[in-house]
Structures are given as structure tokens and as C-alpha cells.
Structure 1
Amino acid sequence: MKEFKYWKIYLLGLGFFGISVLWPLYNAYVPIFLKDFALPSFIIGFIMTIDNLFAIFMLPYMGTLSDQTRTKLGRRKPYILLGAPLGAMFFALIPFCKDSGSLALMMFVIILMNFSLALFRSPLIAFMPDITPSEKRSQANGIINFMGGLGALLAYFGGKPLYDANKAYPFIVGAVLMLLANLLVVMFIQEPEQYRAKMEKLNVIETMKKGSSELVENLKDVFASEEKSLLMMLLSIFFWFVGFNAVETFFTSYAKFHMNIGESTGALVLGVFSLVFMVFALPAGFIGARLGRKKTIRLGLTIMVVCLLVAVLMSRFLPKSTLLYLFYAIFAISGAGWALVNVNSLPMVVDMTRSEKVGGYTGLYYFFSMAANIVAPPLAGAFIDLTGYGSLFIFSIVFLVLSYTTMGFVRRGERAEE
């Protein structure tokens, strides 16, 4: 591996920046567009999970497939060059499909957009460990998450004036930013020499066969291996994403129906969480490298559990107006804890394997995190229906404690020795 340069990781982070611009715009405005077709909320909710459905089925395979790919450009870039232009084009077409009045056309474009983005997400993220030595991967993943946070903030703050001017503008601008960001990655970052084969033609069928075979091997690594560190790590990821997603999904409802404050105020509290997460993503990587990834993740989980316990206890004694100010502080501290967890988890997963399988293991990471995002909303919603909104944080605490427990059985994934 060539000499490590941090500027390359910031440049690579542009790819994640570009993707992170799209999703806030998609989640904010597509449900409104779908409502124009008089669809029930249940159907709209199902449509909005299409990205997660594509993710859990495609990301493990696409990551493994890229591991087996050899071209003059490398093994990750062909998927970026295929998926990014298609994803940008279909994303930009969404508001025009809505204006056409054709639900079938709208659904066709939404499905193709989600499919296109799933083509290159795992290869793009797996690019980071390809060019980063093991001992620098936590810091590098902190940079990647920081760049993703910048993209999301840009979408949140820039999307509104663009949407007010013309409903198509956020989609056009977002598509252009995503495409340009990923083209810069392709143009200015070289893949390691061993993955750039001098070949005239890519044997697609043979590569797909190898990818399928390797995916089976990766699943055996998870479930059939005598040493259960990988399985425990992936279960930890699943559990903490269930706990996190429950609060992310239902906190604005908690604010409105339990605290009697506006949902926009609840969204602002979540915004403080996201802002602190983005700012703390960089130091979280360095803390993980210094303290150890496992210890850092368990520290982050402890911080989040303590914060939620304080919220549960104080909500019984403090008036709602005072409690709101406490929540700003609690969610800010939790954002730092979430950075400690999230930034160091992917490096742990990819450092449980050799470089030839990094893409496949990246896909496994996304499979378990996306599966949690599918399971969490209905499971947490059912729990709230039975016990009330006041139990939201208890639900989250249970799953965060489960993840802390399963992390105790993880024995691998720390940085390799230099």
C-alpha cells in the first residue's frame, strides 16, 4: 500500500458526501409527492422502505462482487461509474414524474433510483480500507462520516430555499452534486495496483459466479465459524441500530404527544444530535485508534444509555419546559457517544478479514444495519402502542444494553500492528 495521505480520505469522502445530499431530500419531499396520488400513509411508508430492502439484498452481494472484479480502473470504480450517473439521473427525474400525474412512472423511477444507488454504495465505502492501512481506518472512517454529515446539513439547509423556488430544483442540484462528487473520486484517487488488471475485456459472467461463491463463504464466516467474533459484532450493530432508529423515528411524535411541544421543536433536538455527531466524528476516530475500538464503542454505548436513563428519570420530575432544555444537552452528549460507536464499527468489521474480502464484509455491515432500520420502526411502534410514548427511551435502552453485552464477546477487529 502506498504512503497514506489524509487528503485522499477527504477526497474519497466526497463520494459519501454526494450520497448523503440525496437521502435527506428524498426522505423529506418524496412522501409529499406520493401523497398527491392519494395513497394511504401505510403504502407511502412501504415505498419509503424500498431503499432499505434493496440495501439488505444488494449491498452484501455488490460488495462481494466488487472484491472479485479486476479492470484497468480497479475493482471499485466500475461500480461507481455505473451507479452514480444512473442514480443521479433517476433522482433528478422524480419531481417531473410527479408532475406527469403517472404513479406507475413515478414508481418506476423511484425503484430504478434505489437500485442504481445500491449498485455502488458498498464498493464506494469499501474503497476506504483499500487505500487506508489498518491502524488509520478509524480516523479515516471519522473523516468519511464527517463528510457525510456535511452533505446532510447542506441538504437540510439548502433544500428549503431551492424547493420554495421550484420543487424540482433540490433534486436537480442534489443529482449534480452527487455526480460531480463521485466523478472527482474516480478521477483523482487510484486503486491499489494489484486490483488494476491489464485486460481487454471484463468477464462479467465469471466475475458474478465468483462473487456469488464468495458471498456464500462470507456468510459461512458469520454463522459457521467456531470463533464468533464476527457474528457478535454484527449482532451488536443490529441491536444498536434498532435502539438508535427507534428514537430517530419516534422522537418528534414523543415531543408532540408526550411532552406537548411542537414536532418541529422535536426535530430541532434531533438536529442538535446530528450536528454534534458530525463534529465529533473526527475526534471519535482518533479516540478509537488510541483507546482501542472495542473499548471506544462500549464507552459510546455507555454514554448513550446513561443519557437516556437521565431522560427517563428527569421526565418524571421536571416540568416540560425545563425538560426540553435538558433534552438539548442530553441529545448533544448522545451525539458524541453515537460518533464513538458508529465511526469505529466499520473498521472493526473489515479488520476481521483480509483485503481481498473487504467489500463483502462492508456489505455484511450494511446488511445488519439496514435490517435494523427495517425492523425498528414497526417493533418500536408496537411497543409504544402497548405502553405509551413515555416508554420510547426504555425500548432504546434495552437494545443498546443488548449491543453492549454482545460486544463483550467480540475478540477481533482491533487495528493490525504497523
Structure 2
Amino acid sequence: MKKTWLLGLGFFSISLTWALYNAFVPLFLSNYLKSAAMIGFMMTIDNYFAIFLQPWIGHRSDKTNTRFGRRMPYLLIGMPLGAVFASLIPLHTGFVMLVIFMVLMNLSMSLFRSPTVALMPDITPERDRTKANGVINFMGGLGSVLAFGVGSKLYGISSYMPFLFAGIIMLMSMFVLKAVIKEPITLISNENPKPRKPVKIKEQLDKTTIFILAAIFFWFVSYQGVEALFTLYGTKYIGMTEDAASFSLVFFSLAFLIFALPSGWLGSKFGKKKIITIGVIGLVVIFGSLVFVDSPLILRLLLVIGGIFWACININSYPWIVATGNEESIGTRTGIYYFVSSLAAISSPPLLGLFIDIFGYPALFISASLGMLLALLCLFGASSEAKSKVIGNG
């Protein structure tokens, strides 16, 4: 668990950087673009990289064999580049330069995200992976909270300061990970000269995996749509101020952060599929109930409960998708996981936004509830049996 907490530094730095990026880059873009839709499109660059690059990088890391390990080379290249280009973003001198720095930062972050995530199951026995995922998601959530708390103060000093802070944290995290995390010797030694059988993506798409991926897509469609459009819902439909509407989402996020560790423990004790199913059923009810709520107090109370159910889903889903394959396919399955979740992130806001345009704002939570219901139906076709065999715990 000590190594897991230290590995969480990688997720801490990633979440910190992305939170600052999402908070302040739209302000830079607004100096050049007047269309909110165009600014929103520019902010989805990372999801396009996640769709096309991260699955390949994750698959590639499965086949990598160096003295640094399978995953670490990607961290040693991607994290310094990500730190440099993140720090350069506020120093842009025009729109073209801003876009170049954004693209280069997104490209650099894509180089190491899947390998960083894949390190967790690499160094953790299968029985402990849900608890470990709770730890690293807790660290990631802590990074986001710190970004909003410290980043806003630093931005008041200079627009450059938050990004320099993120770059320094990322470099420090890289040095700690390099010093502490040692990948399993059986994966990088020459004691067994027989080469590993190449992992083929098509072979990973068995029936159980396809059902799990479909469920992941539907629950991320629900979650991403609510996250992206909730402020509009709160202001236009409930009548809240912009500050009050955006602040309401903090209740959901904090509940997720607080319940990240318990949900990992529950998944480890009672089974990942069972806890995920409870979370999905819970959000079907919560999202469906929010349609009838116009009180900010009750809305926030339901969001707290919803954050707990979301933790049950999100903390256990990645270890489950990994557990249904073998150890050699961890990077590949990590990439596929991010492909599906990023596809949902791209398609969800315009899809649920279209439903709002046609049927009105109540369609937001009706659609989100239906998305969770579709995810629940997919869970019925997925087996909870894990195929992976633990090679070592590093």
C-alpha cells in the first residue's frame, strides 16, 4: 500500500494539471474566440488524443521491454514534456501559439497516462486492485481540490503561476515514481528468454469485455452529460445563480472523494460487479429523482448520495476490466478503457444537449437516468469472473 500511495502521486499530478488546464485555458481562448461552442470544442482536444493515441500507447507498453520496465519509459518521456508545455501555455503570444502549446501538452500527457494507470495493476495483486484504485483516485481527487484551492490564488498573482506550479509538481512526481516504483522483475528480466506472446486487441474483446465496455460507455455518457450541462440546468431551470449552480457540483465531487477508499474496500470484499451494480441502480434512482426537485438544498443532498454511488462505479470499473484479461494485456485494456470513456465524453454533451433543445431541461436527468439503466442492462451480460493471474507484486 505504501507503493500505491506513492503511485498516487502520478494521478495527483495528472489531475492537478488537468483541473488547472480546464479552469484557465478557456479564459485564454476567450480572448480570441467569441463562440462558447468553439471554445468547448477546443477543450475536447484531450479526448480525441485519448481515443486515437492512448489505446495504441497502452498496447505498445505491453510489448515494451527495457531496463526501466514496461511503463516507466513512457513516464520518463511524457511527464517532462507535459510539464514544459503546460508551463508554456500562459506565455503564448497569439492564438496560433496558444493552440500549438495546447496540442503539444495534450500529446505529451497522452504519452504517459495509460502506462501510469497500467502501473497500478502491474505492481498490485489482483485481490488488492480495487482498494489500490480507491487510493489512487483519492489522490487524483485531492489534486483537483488543490488545483481549485491553490490554483485560484496563484492565478490572482499571475496567470503563469498555476501552470508553473503544475509543472513543478509533475516533475517532482516523476522523480519519486522513478526512485520508488520498481516494476515486477519477472516482466523485465532475461531469466526466461522465451518471448511473450504478442497481445492482440481483437483477442481482448470477448463477450464479457464487450458488455463491460458498453456499460462503461453508457454510464460515462450519463455522468459526462450531467457534469457538462448541470450549470445550465441549475440556472435556466432551477433558477439558481451561476455560482450556486457550479458550487452544487462540489457536493457530488467531495462525496466521491470521501467514498473513494471505502468503495475500493467494498469492491475487494464483496466483488467489483456487485458494488458497481449497486452504484448504477443508485444513480438510476438519484438522476430520476432530480427531475422532480426544485429545492437547492434537496438537490445538493441528492448529489451527495449520487457522488457515493458514482464512487462505487468509477473506483471498481477499471480493476474489473483489467481482471477479465491476463497480465500481459493490462496496458492494452487500459487503452481500450480510456478509448470508450473518452468516446462517451465527446458524444455525451452534444447528445444530451440536443435532448434538452427538443424536450426541455428535465430531459437532462431523464436521459442520464436512462443511460444508467442501459448500463445496468449491459452488466447483466458481463461475467464477474477474473481471468488474470498475478505474476508478482513488484
2:204 to 221, 243, 248: 221
1:261 to 236, 240, 250: 240
Report how far residue 39 of structure 1 moved: 4.6
Q: 1:267-306 alignment to 2 at 5 Å?
A: 267-306=246-285
Q: Deviations over 1:256-297 (max 9, x none)?
A: 000111121111111111011011000001111111111100
User: Structure 1: how far apart are the matches of 2:266 and 2:86?
Assistant: 37
Question: Residues 15 and 124 of structure 1 are in contact (CA less than 8 Å); yes or no, is this contact kept in structure 2?
Answer: yes
Matched, 1:90 2:73: no
Query: Taking structure 1 as the reference length, what is the TM-score of the superposition?
Result: 0.89
2:39 to 29, 39, 44: 44
Q: Which amino acid aligns with 1:375?
A: S
| Cross-structure match for 2:99 | 107
Q: Which amino acid aligns with 2:287?
A: L
2:383 to 411, 414, 417: 411
1:81 to 72, 76, 79: 76
Report how far residue 183 of structure 1 moved: 2.1
Q: Deviations over 1:275-324 (max 9, x none)?
A: 110110000011111111111001011111112222223x3xxxx4xx11
| Cross-structure match for 1:332 | 304
Residues 286, 381 of structure 1: CA spacing in aligned structure 2 closer, same or farther, 3 A cutoff?
A: same
Report how far residue 59 of structure 1 moved: 1.0
| Cross-structure match for 2:159 | 167
| Cross-structure match for 1:202 | none
Query: Taking structure 2 as the reference length, what is the TM-score of the superposition?
Result: 0.95
User: Structure 2: how far apart are the matches of 1:414 and 1:325?
Assistant: 42
Question: Residues 18 and 182 of structure 1 are in contact (CA less than 8 Å); yes or no, is this contact kept in structure 2?
Answer: no
User: Structure 2: how far apart are the matches of 1:280 and 1:167?
Assistant: 33
| Partner secondary structure for residue 389 of structure 1 | coil
Question: Residues 131 and 192 of structure 1 are in contact (CA less than 8 Å); yes or no, is this contact kept in structure 2?
Answer: yes
Report how far residue 75 of structure 1 moved: 0.5
Residues 42, 328 of structure 1: CA spacing in aligned structure 2 closer, same or farther, 3 A cutoff?
A: closer
Uncovered stretches (5+) of structure 1, i.e. residues with no partner:
1-5, 200-206
Query: Post-superposition, which runs of at least 4 consecutive aligned residues in structure 1 deviate over 4 A?
Result: 413-418
Matched, 1:308 2:294: no
Q: 1:113-192 alignment to 2 at 5 Å?
A: 113-192=105-184
- Aligned Cα RMSD in Å? 1.9
Q: Deviations over 1:141-187 (max 9, x none)?
A: 00010000000000011111100111110010011112211221121
Report how far residue 397 of structure 1 moved: 0.3
Report how far residue 38 of structure 1 moved: 3.5
Residues 415, 284 of structure 1: CA spacing in aligned structure 2 closer, same or farther, 3 A cutoff?
A: farther
Q: Deviations over 1:353-387 (max 9, x none)?
A: 11111000011111101100000011011010001
Q: Which amino acid aligns with 1:22?
A: T
Uncovered stretches (5+) of structure 2, i.e. residues with no partner:
none
Report how far residue 220 of structure 1 moved: 4.0
Residues 296, 38 of structure 1: CA spacing in aligned structure 2 closer, same or farther, 3 A cutoff?
A: closer
| Partner secondary structure for residue 22 of structure 1 | helix
User: Structure 2: how far apart are the matches of 1:252 and 1:84?
Assistant: 33
Alignment coverage as a number of residue pairs: 387
| Partner secondary structure for residue 244 of structure 2 | helix
Identity of aligned residues (%): 41
Report how far residue 390 of structure 1 moved: 1.8
Report how far residue 197 of structure 1 moved: 4.4
User: Structure 1: how far apart are the matches of 2:45 and 2:385?
Assistant: 31
| Partner secondary structure for residue 37 of structure 1 | coil
Q: Deviations over 1:164-213 (max 9, x none)?
A: 111110010011112211221121110111233469xxxxxxx9xx99x7
Residues 198, 175 of structure 1: CA spacing in aligned structure 2 closer, same or farther, 3 A cutoff?
A: farther
Question: Residues 272 and 384 of structure 2 are in contact (CA less than 8 Å); yes or no, is this contact kept in structure 1?
Answer: no
User: Structure 2: how far apart are the matches of 1:238 and 1:38?
Assistant: 31
| Partner secondary structure for residue 53 of structure 2 | helix
| Cross-structure match for 1:377 | 349
Q: 1:355-374 alignment to 2 at 5 Å?
A: 355-374=327-346
Residues 246, 38 of structure 1: CA spacing in aligned structure 2 closer, same or farther, 3 A cutoff?
A: closer
User: Structure 2: how far apart are the matches of 1:68 and 1:277?
Assistant: 34
Question: Residues 33 and 39 of structure 2 are in contact (CA less than 8 Å); yes or no, is this contact kept in structure 1?
Answer: no
Matched, 1:397 2:380: no
Report how far residue 417 of structure 1 moved: 8.8
